Structures are given as C-alpha cells and as structure tokens.
Chains A and B, each alone.
Chain A
Amino acid sequence: MSVLEVDRLTVALPMVAGLARAVRDVSFRLERGETLGIVGESGCGKSMMALALMGLLPEGADLRGGITLNGCDLRALDEKAMCRVRGNAIAMVFQEPMTSLNPVHTIGKQVIEPLMLHSGLGRDEANAETLSLLERVGLVDPRRFYGAYPHQLSGGQRQRAMIAMALSCHPEVLIADEPTTALDVTIQGQILDLIRDVVSERQMSLILISHDLGVIAETVDRVFVMYGGAVVEQGPTPDVFARLAHPYTQGLFAAVPQVGEGRRRLRTIPGTVPELADLPGGCTFADRCSLAHETCRSQVPDMRSVGENHSAACLRLDAAMASSSFGSRR
C-alpha cells in the first residue's frame, strides 16, 4: 500500500483579483522509501501543494480532492486530530531556517517539543533522543547546540536543526520545501547529502520541492514539473532528463546556465509566469509556447504517455518531441 495517496488535489485561494487556482487536479501515489521531486518557478503552486498536504493552508482556501496517509483520510480529520499527524507521521522542512525557527527558544527546546508532544517520552529520554538527533544531523558537540539560540547558528546549521526537528518523531513522509535555496552552494551539497542519507536510512518517503533542476536531478527518483498550478510533465528522473517532452520543461532546461559551457546566449522562454488568478483558458503555457496552435488556446491538454511511467500534458507532444533539440544539450 502506498504511504501517501493524493487524488485530484485542487486548491483555490481567494484574492483581490479573483480566485487563484494554485493547485489543479494533482494526483499521485508515494510508496515507502520513494523520493519525489516537484520542480517549477515561483507561482507554479508547488509550495501551496506542500501546505495542503500538511493541512497548513491559509484561512479561506478552498481544498478539494483526497489526501490519504497510510489509509487514513486526512481531509476527514478535525484540527485536533490533524495536530497528532502533523510533525508526527508527516513532517516538513521549510525554506528559510531563520524565520521558521523560533528566535526566543533554544535549539534543544525546539527539537524536544515535538518529541514530548507526540512520542510520549519522558524528559530524560527525550533529552537523550534530542542530543542523538542533533549529532545525527551533523551538529557535532550537540550539548553546545542544545543550549544555543537560532541567531548563534549559521544558515547551514539552522537548516540542520530544522531537519532534526522534522526527523524527531520518525515521520513516514518528509516534505522539504526549497531546503537549500537560502544556502551557499558548498553548504547546499552538505544539506542535500544529509537529507538523502537520513531518508534512505529511515526508509522515509521524501517530497522535495525546488526551483533548481540540478538539485532535483541529483536527489530524487521521480520528478513532477509544475506550471500554472498543474503538473505538466512527470516521470522517473532519468527518463525525464533524457527525453524532455513538454515544451515548458524543454524551455526551462535550456534556460539554466550550466557550468560546463562557454560564454554564449541562453535560450529563453518569452514572457513571464501567468498569474494564478488569471490563467489562460486551454493550455496555460500556450501564450509562451512557440508550438502553440489555435486548439492549444481552447482545449485543456490531458496527460499523455511518452514512455513507461513518463507522461506530459501537451496537445502538440509529437511536434514538441520532434523539435526537442534541448534534450540533447548536456
């Protein structure tokens, strides 16, 4: 049985400009130990999806579809019951470790809090467990970090503390929303290695959200590419990166400056990401797509298979795959 099942998840947020459809019809199953990456630009709905899974959507948000964790329907739980799940069976690491840690509590106190709340350990056991967690996430000399305040730590150390908090109750699903975006590149490598190691060590399932194709390519088994609130391409990471199917994925890939190349022009995607409150009818990418036909503007594309477990939502998939000169760019 899958650990997490998401069925036609849809999130709409009321905004001044109208209803922003932040997530549209996203479905997937996550097996034990599987790692899933969600990649997309700002405003593509990837963070809203994470918040929906955690039951942390802002007030007034309209959530539809099903979220099932280990056979338990999370949508049916009231807030009190959800509090027992959140941080316990499903945990999250946020992007900005400075603002997501409480500045007036010590690191130790913040790691021990979910432990005492969920696992029913006594203070001494919880203390010992906290120290071993801090050590596990690479905060050598855990006693010093136990009593330290967030401002005394560097960005990388804070993110390690966040990971210790998320790991404290042995969650089955770990959601990491841009865990390394605020960090320097050498520290980013250390944190990604840590996440990968603890995930495989504890047989957790991981949902890694990032705007960075490189981070996704190196960390996860399966990848979702999101655009305008919907998944436009999905598949096993090696397959997707070997055969980019959707024109948006192709464009995104070509726009990334890579270290292995000379001074030259980058291919760009014209225009900007659409407003979620004002999505075009038909394919949301049609306005920026060089292959768009009349039908693309009126008809919403369905997911079509491009290979085993690899599919993309594009009406002009054949033309896109044929013109995929991007794919060969390595």
Chain B
Amino acid sequence: MTFADAPVVEAEGLTRHYTLPRERLTAAPQRVFALNQVSLTVRAGRSLGVVGESGCGKSTLARCVMALEPLTAGTLHILGKDPHVMRAWTLRRHRRNFQMVFQDPFGSLDPRHTVGRIVAEPLDVAEKWLKPDDRRGRVREVLESVGLKEADMSKYPHEFSGGQRQRVAIARALVTRPALIVADEPVSALDVSVQAQVLNLLQDLQDLYGVTYLLISHDLAVVKYVCHEVAVMYLGRIVEYGPTEGIFTNATHPYTRALLDAVPKLSPSRRRARSALKGMVPDPTETNPGCPFADRCPLVESQCRSQAPELREVAPGHVAACHLV
C-alpha cells in the first residue's frame, strides 16, 4: 500500500437514526438513535476493536463504515475517499479496498456455490479484467494464506466445519487485497478451541499483509487479543476510546469497568462480588439530555442527568466520556 501513514478509516461524527413506522396516524413516528456522533481513526496496519452489549450500535457502525447503510449525519473517509458520496459505479470499484467478514459462517456463504467461486466472486466485481489463470492463482494464494488447500476450491461450504468456513469467509474478504477488513463478531459462532485458531489467523494475516481491522465484538477478551486500540460503545455513543493496554489496565468509565468486571474469570473464586450493573440497556428510541449511562451508573450524580459528558482525555490518546473522571 502506498498510503503508509495515512489513516485507513477516518470517521467524524457518524450518526445513524432509523425512523420507526407510525403507531398512530396523528403521532410523530418514533426514531431509533442507533449511532450518535461517533468519531474514530484507524491507521494502516493497526486494528481497532469496538465492544459493547447488544443494541449499543456496534453493528450499525460496521455497516455504516462498509457503506451498506446511509448516514444520517457525519463524514467517513476510507483511504481518503468518502464512500457515502460516491456514485454507485465508483463505489463498486472502491469497495475492493474495504471488505467485510460476517458473524455467521453458516449464513454468509452460499451453500450452492463452490468455495472457489465464493472466494473469487469479489474479483468479478472489483477486478473483472483479471485473466482466468491469474484469477485462479489469486484464489489459491488467499486460500493457502488462511490455511486451506487448493483442493478445497471445488468443495461446497457444507463440507467444512464452522472454523474452516470462517476461514473461507476471511479468504473472500482478502482476495481483493483490501486495506481494511471490517469483521463483525467473526468468532462468536465458533467453539473455544477453534476461535483461538481464527484469532491467531487474523493476527498472522495482519503481520503478513499489513491489513487494517475494524473488529466488532461483544467479547472484551477477543478484542484484547487482536486489537491495538479499543472503543467501548453504549447506546450508540463511544464512552471510552484508547490504546488497548490503557483501557484494560486503567479503565476509567464506569461502564467499561462494569463490563470488565462482569466477564467470568478462569480462577474459581466463588461468590465473587461483581460490581453488578442493575437493570438493562434503556430503549434507544428515547433521548434524554444527560449521560446515556446515568440510569445504570453506580456513581451517578445530579449533573449526569442534566448534561451529557463530552469525551475528555484521561491519558495520552485515551479518552472517556464521564463527568466524574
């Protein structure tokens, strides 16, 4: 890549709201505030992990970055170009630079196509000028780099296990030699022993090709293994963002701390007192003027309910949105 130091992803104030169907003819339709003012930057060869519970907007973020979802507001640049303002045919060519790996390797591969055809398909769109021999060579090359064999090209997805299927999905994302891979929960459908193989593979591919990852996961430990930086999301907002080490050793936002605390530890310590979060994630159709986490926060004060906290720097490169830090 010639974009050595340029950010691969530059997002500024990404916002995505959905309008729900009207409940009554006279009522104003409700809106879901799925993504609110999310800004982030990922540099080449680095990986950013996005963590949060279900409904925090992390998958919406992935889909917005992939330009699969229009933005309500904000700007996004991938390798310096904004996919959201491109014409369809330019966007199609630009798409070879950013590819996606989906969560469920059982649903994301067409059961009627051979693995060779599945992996080659992005080339048909992005690089259709390739000669058949080159095309085949490229497919063979990526299959080998994810640990599959050339002979697997003529097999069908059902002949593979979950972990191998996820390798096929990763090969398909890699075949256009993208600068960025967006992976939405790439290992959550896999068994523990297989999950470790896929996580190692993601790291190896980054070392080999210098590819940049945007990794979406609900599992903090997974993110910790693969990512250089972590963004913690809650109700469509980033509440803490910084280098992985900083987040895990020195979490400042009460939500991040509660999340870390809730993960079961491998040492048998019975009756461990968790700083249990009461209640659940509020309905994203409502907005209040205060901090989105105020209702569940153990430290909540009066200003938290009236004024929304901005992201403030707590250590170099490490920001958190909380009045009390």
A residues sitting closer than 8 Å to B (CB atoms) are 41-42, 154-157, 184-190, 192-193, 196, 211-215, 217-219, 237-238, 241, 251-270, 272-273, 330
Out of B163, B263, B276, name the residue touching A272 (CB < 8 Å): B163
B194 touches A241 (CB 8 A): no
A259 touches B192 (CB 8 A): no
B248 touches A184 (CB 8 A): no
CB distance from A249 to the nearest CB of B (A): 11
C-alpha gap A211/B264 in the complex (Å) = 12
C-alpha gap A269/B200 in the complex (Å) = 12
Determine whether B277 belongs to the interface, using a CB cutoff of 8 Å to chain A: yes
User: Closest residue to A273 on the B side, CB-wise?
Assistant: B191
B200 touches A217 (CB 8 A): no
Determine whether B267 belongs to the interface, using a CB cutoff of 8 Å to chain A: yes
B161 touches A272 (CB 8 A): yes
Determine whether B274 belongs to the interface, using a CB cutoff of 8 Å to chain A: yes
Set of chain A residues within 8 Å of B258, measured between Cβ atoms:
186
B265 touches A217 (CB 8 A): yes
**Can you list 22 contacts pairing A with B, beta carbon distance less than 8 Å?**
A41-B193, A42-B191, A155-B54, A187-B53, A193-B274, A212-B264, A214-B264, A214-B266, A217-B264, A241-B266, A241-B268, A254-B196, A257-B196, A257-B221, A258-B266, A259-B224, A259-B263, A263-B225, A263-B226, A268-B200, A272-B163, A272-B193
B163 touches A193 (CB 8 A): no
B244 touches A218 (CB 8 A): no
B192 touches A218 (CB 8 A): no
C-alpha gap A330/B266 in the complex (Å) = 8
Out of A190, A196, A218, name the residue touching B264 (CB < 8 Å): A218
B196 touches A217 (CB 8 A): no
A41 touches B192 (CB 8 A): yes
B193 touches A255 (CB 8 A): yes
Please tell me the number of chain B residues within 8 Å of chain A, measured between CB atoms.
Answer: 47
A258 touches B221 (CB 8 A): yes
Determine whether B124 belongs to the interface, using a CB cutoff of 8 Å to chain A: no
CB distance from B239 to the nearest CB of A (A): 14
CB distance from A138 to the nearest CB of B (A): 10
CB distance from A156 to the nearest CB of B (A): 6
CB distance from B23 to the nearest CB of A (A): 15
CB distance from A152 to the nearest CB of B (A): 12
Q: Contacts A261-B224, A263-B225: A185 and B266 contacting too (C-beta < 8 A)?
A: no
CB distance from A184 to the nearest CB of B (A): 4
A214 touches B193 (CB 8 A): no
CB distance from A110 to the nearest CB of B (A): 21
B244 touches A266 (CB 8 A): no
Set of chain A residues within 8 Å of B263, measured between Cβ atoms:
185, 214, 259
B197 touches A268 (CB 8 A): yes
Determine whether B39 belongs to the interface, using a CB cutoff of 8 Å to chain A: no
Set of chain A residues within 8 Å of B266, measured between Cβ atoms:
213-214, 217, 241, 253, 256, 258, 330
User: Closest residue to A184 on the B side, CB-wise?
Assistant: B53
User: Closest residue to A223 on the B side, CB-wise?
Assistant: B268
User: Closest residue to A39 on the B side, CB-wise?
Assistant: B192
C-alpha gap A296/B193 in the complex (Å) = 21
Nearest 6 Cβ contacts at the A-B interface:
A214-B264, A257-B221, A255-B196, A266-B196, A184-B53, A269-B193
Set of chain B residues within 8 Å of A215, measured between Cβ atoms:
264
C-alpha gap A264/B54 in the complex (Å) = 27
User: Closest residue to B223 on the A side, CB-wise?
Assistant: A257
Set of chain B residues within 8 Å of A189, measured between Cβ atoms:
262, 264, 274, 276-277
C-alpha gap A91/B207 in the complex (Å) = 50
CB distance from A191 to the nearest CB of B (A): 11
Q: Contacts A193-B274, A211-B191: A268 and B196 contacting too (C-beta < 8 A)?
A: yes
Set of chain B residues within 8 Å of A259, measured between Cβ atoms:
220-221, 224, 248, 260, 263, 265
C-alpha gap A169/B163 in the complex (Å) = 42
B276 touches A193 (CB 8 A): yes
B260-301 to A contact mask, C-beta < 8 Å, 1/0:
101111111111101011001100000000000000000000
Q: Which of B218, B244, B274 has the most CB of A within 10 A?
A: B274
B224 touches A218 (CB 8 A): no
CB distance from B216 to the nearest CB of A (A): 14
Set of chain B residues within 8 Å of A187, measured between Cβ atoms:
53, 280
C-alpha gap A261/B224 in the complex (Å) = 8
C-alpha gap A267/B289 in the complex (Å) = 47
Out of A157, A238, A257, name the residue touching B224 (CB < 8 Å): A257
C-alpha gap A260/B245 in the complex (Å) = 10
A184 touches B224 (CB 8 A): no
Determine whether B195 belongs to the interface, using a CB cutoff of 8 Å to chain A: yes
C-alpha gap A185/B224 in the complex (Å) = 16
C-alpha gap A180/B265 in the complex (Å) = 15
Q: Contacts A238-B268, A241-B267: A268 and B193 contacting too (C-beta < 8 A)?
A: yes
B220-234 to A contact mask, C-beta < 8 Å, 1/0:
111011111000000
Determine whether B75 belongs to the interface, using a CB cutoff of 8 Å to chain A: no
Set of chain A residues within 8 Å of B164, measured between Cβ atoms:
272
Q: Which of A185, A212, A254, A256 has the most CB of B within 10 A?
A: A185
C-alpha gap A185/B203 in the complex (Å) = 25
